[in-house]
Structure 1
Amino acid sequence: MIFSYRYRLYAPSDRLYERCVGLAWCSSCREYSAATVFVPRNEDLWEPLAELPTPERERLVRSEVKLLDHLDRLVRRGIRPADQP
């Protein structure tokens, strides 16, 4: 099954706020893809890292592999964004 996650790079006041990182990965084969994607300003994004302590959140965001490992563990526990099946 393919899962996806999008996150913002810029502050809401920045003109580039709608420019985001989009990740898609397969839990079974461990392949992933990343791209810059457009997300409208008024669209809320899933924030699975929001409850983590700041150092942990920053560590995960610095490495796509670590971030995807964390997200994959959440998905395997049944925690996923509303738009995922």
Structure 2
Amino acid sequence: MAGSTAAIVQRLRALGFQTYYETTAIYLLTHPDLPGLEVRIGTTIVTFERDGREVYRAPIARFDLETALARAGWRGETTGGPEGA
């Protein structure tokens, strides 16, 4: 799912992620069912960090939603939410 920063943020919000910090250069998101997960979406890079450890990093142009979510511990479909989290 390569795309723009706004498209990535919108897709994650549709999956229940919540923005807790936002500027013109960066979005920071969390998910209530995935404690310890922080998603950083900058102008060029997307990073998923779980409990202080980076589990996924990719340029926005090569961002893959399914891979990022799998590495973050997401067990549901990308149309739903985390199962058993």
Q: So what's the TM-score if we normalise by structure 1? A: 0.29
Larger radius of gyration: 1
Structure with more of its chain in strand, by fraction: 2
Q: So what's the TM-score if we normalise by structure 2? A: 0.29
